[in-house]
Homo-oligomer: A and B are copies of this chain.
Amino acid sequence: MFGAQTPGGGMYPGFGQAGPTPISPEVQQWFQAVDKDHSGQINWEELQSALINGQGEHFSPQACKLMIGMFDTDKSGTIGVTEFQLLYNYINQWLAVFKNYDRNQSGSIEEEELGLAFQQMGFRFSPEFIKFLIARSDLKDHKLMSVDQFIVACVQIQRLTEQFRQRDKEMKGVISLPFEEFLSIAINCTT
């Protein structure tokens, strides 16, 4: 399940968890390597220069912005070492899920594998929705999803699901949305 590793049971791992958490030496080392300008804060550009996907390309700006945004509680565009530790664990968690479904170790997953991954996360999506996600990631051939695209899809779905659940109190699977709220949620959860 999304966020199942957080003691609070929240959908957003790390939110409200910044505190006296000890930083592991491994994370400290990573942080110093990523924080190129030694500002004590990491922005999405610094994160991007540290992350390579299975195709040997840097993670997309979108993936890096979304990941920073998940732990950037004060909306400053940067995170410190405490939030970085949460992000680090978060990324590694996604990488493990991804590798588990990338059975041929190709660095990308296909439609069937993506469907299984979401099933394991507790989602029951239609085949059309899975096809839609793949087509958006692989504009040319509509077949493959790379690890950073996978993280983008998971973060977007996780954030949107959280917003949906908050409004679907009776668990009907349908929510009502006024116009401006509809715009805010869609923009805020996806970019």
B175 touching A182, Cβ below 8 Å: yes
Contact of A77 among B132, B140, B152, B190 (CB under 8 A): B140
The answer to whether A176 and B178 touch (CB under 8 A), given A184-B129, A188-B136, is: no
B186 touching A139, Cβ below 8 Å: no
A177 touching B174, Cβ below 8 Å: yes
Instruction: Count contacts on A: residues with CB < 8 A to the other chain.
Output: 42
Least CB distance from A139 to B in Å reads 3
Copies in the complex: 2
Contact of A182 among B75, B164, B187 (CB under 8 A): B164
Q: A160 to B178, alpha carbons, bound, how many Å?
A: 12
Contact of A61 among B61, B188, B189 (CB under 8 A): B61
Closest chain B residue, CB of each to CB of A179? B173
Contact of A187 among B60, B156, B177, B188 (CB under 8 A): B156
Interface residues of A (CB under 8 A from B): 60-62, 75-77, 125-126, 129, 132-133, 135-136, 139-140, 142, 152-153, 156-157, 160-161, 164, 168, 173-180, 182-191
